[in-house]
Amino acid sequence: MSEREEKMKLVVDTNVLFSYFNKKSKTIELLTNQNMQLFSPKYTIKELKKYKEDIKKKFSISEKSFKEILRDLNNVINFIDEEDYRKETSKINEITIDEKDKDFLALSIKLDCPLWSNDKLLKLQEKSTVLNTFEVAELIL
């Protein structure tokens, strides 16, 4: 990538970030790709902590590993405060999607970039482009 080219910006949803805790996941390679600039709502950290026990069990990691991976994730993702994209939520209130998905969509609209999500229902809305992991891999790798 030349210095003039911009990094690809993406908003990443929580389910994609769960993969970061799986050492065997190919998604880690995408999440740590230097050609991308990644964003997520700040509350995503709370969501990951909320499901900490499930994550630890599913991926066979210790408490210490969970904390280290979460800390590392802060270096990979730019977590954005809700106040920075709150205005955009009014643009998506009429869309029938999961309430938690609205933050990701609003941030995607605010940053004028695609949303990386494997949620098939999100792809049906027309306010923002939604890319699944396969599509992101095709663009980046």
pTM for the structure as a whole: 0.90
Rg (CA), the chain: 15
Q: Is 19 in contact with 28 (CB distance < 8 Å)?
A: yes
Per-residue pLDDT of 117-135, as tens digits, reads: 999 888 888 889 999 999 9
**Confidence band, pLDDT 50/70/90 cuts, at residue 26:** confident
Domains, the chain, with CATH or none: 8-140 (3.40.50.1010)
Cα of 12 vs its chain's centroid, Å: 2
Q: Is 106 in contact with 89 (CB distance < 8 Å)?
A: yes
Per-residue pLDDT of 69-125, as tens digits, reads: 999 999 999 999 999 998 887 777 766 567 778 899 999 999 999 999 999 888 888
Residue (of 140, 138, 139, 105) closest to 119 by Cα position: 105
